[in-house]
Chain A
Amino acid sequence: MKRAVWIALLLAFIVHPALADDKYIFIMKAIGNPYWQALKEGIEDASKKAGVTPILMYPISDLAKEEDLNLCQSAITQKPRIIVMGAETTSIGLECYKQAQAQGILVADMDATISVDLAKKSGVDLQYSIGADNTLIGEKAAAFVAAHFKDKNAAPKILIIEGAVGSPPGQDRPIGFKRKLASLLPKAEIVNSLSAEWDRLRAMNITADTLMRTPDLNVIFAANDVMALGAVEAVRAAGKQGQVMIIGVDGIPDARKAVKDGLMTASITQLPYFIGKRTAELAFDAVQGKKIERTESAPLLVLTKEVLAANKDPLLTYVR
């Protein structure tokens, strides 16, 4: 009997030589954001499959950037094998990785905040970076707008609602949007490009003020869905539904509902559940020393009323 127990234990160790005992810490972004909830689901599902209990850590607010570093330092004290972080800013992410690496802890990036090359320049050996290229998301949104207007000489008036200043997704998405728009619709006019700090009410107020100045506004591109939903309410209050196309990013459930109801035109989703699932799988592989792709880009999907109604795109299985 005793021998059987020993054999069982030995077998368990052989099946998961590293996974069973090692700690895997994932430092997420703030709770309360549906995008990160879906990403969390992906991590949990992949972990469950691998028989691992991941440690998930959250800052209380998106705006308290230093909190990321505090979380990182408390993660280091737990001596995990790997720390995977969705850093709010590049500088804080790099600082965290440096401190962890100095303690012999593997580090990786989720949500494409820091590229492997950028980390290398700062002396950080990033195991992998996974996520969607934020400038590419902006470009995709611009291409969607251009396709809607068809004529290259069209001159739509556009409001861009940026995310938090200093946050890569908040800034890079508008940058990608502007860059692509300049090539596809050179006569388009960006009437305002302001940060709403990821805040729904601030986005609503910016939209209301912009509609006052530019009543013939045609397009609103918001760097995330929460802000896009704020814009939806301002457009509705101004009685301009149908005149203004509103595009958000993330594909959160509320935005999908707004798209289905015709209140929002589209949401570009980078499939957070997919990112969460893959980031966990890559973390387990990295710890076991398996060869992995250092940079993995998440596919993008433009969720429109038609795409959601048809329900045929295989990527929709990752939409949570």
Chain B
Amino acid sequence: MFARLFTQNQNRLYIAQCLLFLAALGAFFSLASPYFLSLGNVNNVLTAGAVIGLMAIGATFVIASGGIDLSSAGVMAFCGTLCAFCLQKGGWSPWLALPFSIGLGGLCGFLTGFLVNITEAPSFIVSLGMMSVARAAAYIVSKGMPIYGLPDNVISAGQGQMLGLQVPVLLLIVGIVLAWILLTQTQFGLHTLILGDNAFAAQAMGVPAGRVRLKTFTLAGIYSGVAGIIFMLRTNSGDPTAGQGYELIAITAVILGGANLFGGRATIIGTVLGVLCLGVLQNGLNLLAVSTYYQTLFVGLVLIAAAFLSRVRSQR
């Protein structure tokens, strides 16, 4: 009980740090650019962050349980490409193509978790393998060529608005709420954090480690699948080369949000703030027309600052 209270306080502290950092970024960019705080730009930041955001939320579960999932971008590309293939070449109904593609994303995650369980190999290695397998599957499905031009009804629905929000933003919010419930209000969430904190103690306490791990990777796969669908809807294409390197950005966002890279501590709110920090930074630098060289420098400095914060945290 006391330990849980301590962790909650720690989480609050990290979230407050991240909020402060986000507020500082926001204050700087709103002073530097008159467009930054406009409604349209806020919408841009949220829409642009939807793909990475969903991947990062999926990664939060895996990192919380003490694992790493490097397959997320590959799975994302595979699901988006497969869905575009089913819609455009197969003439499938969106009601069938979307759940089918997302389901296969979940299957990729399930397989990663299953292989980690039976081989007891580091998830880093197994998911690296799955990254290649999923990317290859995307190439095979599309014969190496992007699938461009989805049916009009799909594009107008995907790029339109629902409840006053862009569809990608709405999906992101739904994903955030569901993930928050799963991580904080269910036994599965508690088991995930305990497993990440101390795997031996978790097993001694009767936490079904294998099953929990399987669920975290499956969830990450599903979230990557939804991210793939958003990528497809936004760009009007299934691109097998999509999102190269996005898996590392997603993991960075999770860590920036206060998660411990070695498990046991992670929050969905923290991850969302981490995604927003990266998104705001990118958006603000674009608005200020900062050259690519300096953008890379600033993003690098932020990551170093995050690493420094993480070190300070782990010493406490």
Contact = CB atoms under 8 A, between A and B. Distances in A.
A212 B139 CA distance: 35
A31 to B, nearest CB: 5
B241 A33 contact: yes
Contacts of B33: 213
Interface in B289-303: 289, 291-293, 295-296
Contact of A209 (B243, B287, B293): B287
Interface in B243-262: 243-245
A32 to B, nearest CB: 4
B174 to A, nearest CB: 20
B242 A60 contact: no
A201 B51 contact: yes
B95 to A, nearest CB: 23
Interface residues of A, number: 39
Contacts of A236: 159
B112 interface: no
Interface of chain A: mostly helix, strand, loop or mixed: helix
A27 B237 CA distance: 27
B301 to A, nearest CB: 17
B144 A194 contact: no
Contacts of B293: 165
A316 interface: no
B237 A254 contact: yes
Interface string A52-66: 000000001111000
Given A37-B145, A209-B283, A212-B287, A200 B239 contact: yes
A32 B236 contact: no
B231 A201 contact: yes
B38 A212 contact: yes
Contacts of A213: 33, 35, 286-287, 289
A32 B35 contact: no
Contacts of B240: 32
Contacts of B283: 205, 209
A61 B244 contact: yes
Contact of A237 (B41, B159, B237, B295): B159
Interface string A164-205: 010000000000000000000000000111110001110011
B236 A209 contact: no
Contacts, number: 106
Contacts of B139: 31-32
A128 to B, nearest CB: 27
B215 interface: no
Contacts of A212: 35, 38, 40-41, 44, 287
A32 B244 CA distance: 12
A49 to B, nearest CB: 24
A89 interface: no
A209 B282 CA distance: 9
Contacts of B44: 205, 208-209, 212
A233 to B, nearest CB: 5
Interface size class of B (residues with CB under 8 A): 35 or more
A210 to B, nearest CB: 7
Contacts of A226: 146, 239
Given A194-B292, A213-B33, A229-B235, A206 B286 contact: yes
Contacts of B123: none
A205 B48 contact: yes
B101 to A, nearest CB: 17
A233 B234 contact: yes
Nearest to B284: A209
Nearest to B233: A233
Contacts of B289: 191-194, 213
**Which of B48, B135, B148, B283 has the most C-beta atoms of chain A within 10 angstroms of its own C-beta?**
B148
Given A30-B241, A212-B38, A195 B292 contact: yes
Contacts of B65: none
A193 B291 contact: yes
A80 interface: no
B122 interface: no
Contacts of B239: 32, 200, 226
A206 B237 CA distance: 18
21 contacts: A31-B139, A32-B240, A32-B241, A37-B144, A62-B241, A191-B289, A192-B286, A192-B289, A194-B292, A199-B242, A201-B231, A201-B243, A204-B234, A205-B282, A205-B283, A208-B44, A213-B33, A226-B239, A237-B159, A237-B234, A257-B149
Give 6 closest A-B pairs by Cβ, nearest first: A254-B148, A209-B286, A32-B241, A195-B292, A205-B48, A31-B144
Given A32-B146, A165-B292, 6 more contacts: A37-B145, A194-B295, A201-B51, A201-B234, A208-B44, A208-B48
Interface of B: 33, 35, 38, 40-41, 44, 47-48, 51, 132, 135, 139, 142, 144-146, 148-149, 159, 231, 234-237, 239-245, 282-283, 286-287, 289, 291-293, 295-296
